[in-house]
Structure 1
Amino acid sequence: MAGQTPHHGAERALLEGFSLEMTGKDVPGLEEAAGSIPPGTRVNITFLGNEDLPMRVAAAAAVKRLGFVPVPHISARRLGSQVELEEFLGALETEAAVADAFVVGGDPAAPLGPYEDSLALIGSGLLGRYGIRNVGISGYPEGHPDIDDARLWAVLLDKCAALQEQNLQPTIITQFGFDVDPVLDWLAELRRRGVHAPVRIGVPGPAGVKRLLAFARRFGVASSAGIVHKYGFSLTNLLGTAGPDRFIGELAARLDQADHGRVQLHFYTFGGLKATAEWARRFAAA
């Protein structure tokens, strides 16, 4: 485009093919936002303790019906039995022709059934049997509050290897953050360790500052005054809102395909699907 700087071109390229996240209860929000979301966008559907199987399956079916790609989450420790897992996978295959899933350990400290973590769920071999071809797994550029870094790296490598042995394509989706530095360091280390799977960097959609800080505390995300000021909000104005403009601009400017590999964005919408989709459309057009 005439007059477009390389920096803006990099931002637009990074934004292409972004994915979104919703809960099972967000179907009305998705319907409202649908006109602002590019057709074929991947939409992740969380696996929360206060939602049931029919609600999760209905959400996946709604994503499909609206012209997007459903990526249901499967929480290993929340599953009570293998039967429950197979019932969920079977319903997803039948109702929404799901070929993508995101596997996560889940919040419960003790598993409710036979799967102690996402690696155990992958190891069951059931995903591919029910038509799943692409499997998302978690990445933690800033570490995990309950798991040390050595263990995080070992498990990530084991999950990638287990998926590839089953001819399933891994994609890594990272926890969101406000600081580009640990993201770039983590990406470089990932590639040095021989993992070449595509990565989606987790980014918060535009939201209230208090809401962003609450989620940051919950997930162990660094939110010091210096970091959030660089991101674009102030701890002295908790009633304001903040978007990921600066974060994405800096990430786009500093990404190097040779060091960091294939990278896209994943938006944590925090209940604001329409706000996030409209922000992304405006940002890409700016």
Structure 2
Amino acid sequence: MNADRLLHDFSLEMTGKDLGELAAARGTIPPGTRINITFLAHEDSAVRLAAATAARAAGFVPVPHLSARRLASRQTLEEFLAALQAAGVSDEVFVVGGDPADPHGPYPDSLSIIESGLLERYGVRRVSIAGHPEGHPGIPDGVLWDAVADKSAALARHALGGDIITQFGFDADPVLDWIAALRERGLHSPVRVGVPGPAGAGRLIRYAARLGVGTGASIADLVTTTGTAGPGRFLRALATDYHPATHGEVKLHFYTFGGLRATSEWIHAYAKEH
């Protein structure tokens, strides 16, 4: 697969405070690009809603995150979904368990939100879920495989489409092996491979350690003389070893680490060079 196909229909993410970054990056992001809106503990629903509305107004497809264990009550979830629907930005969401070890309310995991029936009630049509090619520091691999299968089955029962968005990685081999195993298990949703946007090596390592992402010598290959790292090597490996017959539909999701403009400019420059 060449770079042009690899970069077709990629997605990005932003936080509620990235409105200025979004405006500055608008010229380098293709219209219709999916922009995921993160669910950070220190940002309230109004901030997330404003970010989703701004993404829609800029010509993009907002994908607000729902962090299950951070939701204090069913009412909290319904109010946020109702606000998204009223603003015309409820079509797509990304549902994730979230960081807290103990749920703040009635939703212990993303499956419980899907099974609530509230998503489709408030106009949601597509739901992305998380995938973990290199595992999770606090969850056994068998549990992770059961979770992605259970969530996929629940989405089908609720007539909801969606993608699987993976944690970011530095090595293509474990990602592609995981996707091949996913297909062998009969799970054929499109996969958006998590890609680390350009960032300082220290920041990448910290995020990787928190998420249980393998680094090893590969991160050294990413780091430039300026101390920053870009995903070019990772993307070239994906483009070389991706096989549609084995891996199915694969796209990219860029984690921006607060640098939406820097990431979009990097993608734009990389696409022009390849």
TM range (shorter): over 0.9
| 1:233 corresponds to 2:218 | no
Displacement of 1:24 after TM fit?
Answer: 1.0
Match of 2:88 in 1: 96
CA distance in 2, matches of 1:216, 1:114: 29
Displacement of 1:208 after TM fit?
Answer: 1.2
CA distance in 2, matches of 1:279, 1:54: 30
**Unpaired runs of 5+ in structure 2?**
none
Match of 1:44 in 2: 36
- Mapping of residues 1-286 of structure 1, within 5 Å: 10-224=2-216, 226-229=217-220, 231-233=221-223, 240-286=227-273
Select between 203-212 and 39-48 the one with higher mean Cα deviation.
203-212
Displacement of 1:95 after TM fit?
Answer: 1.3
Displacement of 1:35 after TM fit?
Answer: 1.2
The size of the alignment, in residue pairs, is: 273
Q: Which residue identity does 1:227 align to in structure 2?
A: S
Displacement of 1:96 after TM fit?
Answer: 3.3
Displacement of 1:32 after TM fit?
Answer: 1.1
SS at match of 1:174: strand
CA distance in 1, matches of 2:92, 2:28: 23
CA distance in 2, matches of 1:147, 1:109: 11
* Cα deviation 1:204-246 (Å, max 9, x = unaligned): 111111111111112111111x2223x4228xx7x61111111
* Cα deviation 1:240-278 (Å, max 9, x = unaligned): 111111100110111000110100000000111111111
CA distance in 1, matches of 2:16, 2:68: 17
Q: Which residue identity does 2:255 align to in structure 1?
A: Y
SS at match of 1:201: strand
Q: Which residue identity does 1:219 align to in structure 2?
A: L
**Unpaired runs of 5+ in structure 1?**
1-6
Displacement of 1:285 after TM fit?
Answer: 1.1
CA distance in 2, matches of 1:97, 1:179: 34
In the superposition, the TM-score normalised over structure 2's length comes to 0.97
RMSD, matched Cα: 1.2
CA distance in 1, matches of 2:89, 2:211: 32
Match of 1:3 in 2: none
Displacement of 1:97 after TM fit?
Answer: 3.1
CA distance in 2, matches of 1:221, 1:34: 30
Checking the alignment, whether the CA contact within 8 Å between 2:64 and 2:92 is kept in structure 1 is: yes
Q: Which residue identity does 2:147 align to in structure 1?
A: V
* Cα deviation 1:60-94 (Å, max 9, x = unaligned): 10010111000000000100111110000000011
Checking the alignment, whether the CA contact within 8 Å between 2:68 and 2:109 is kept in structure 1 is: yes
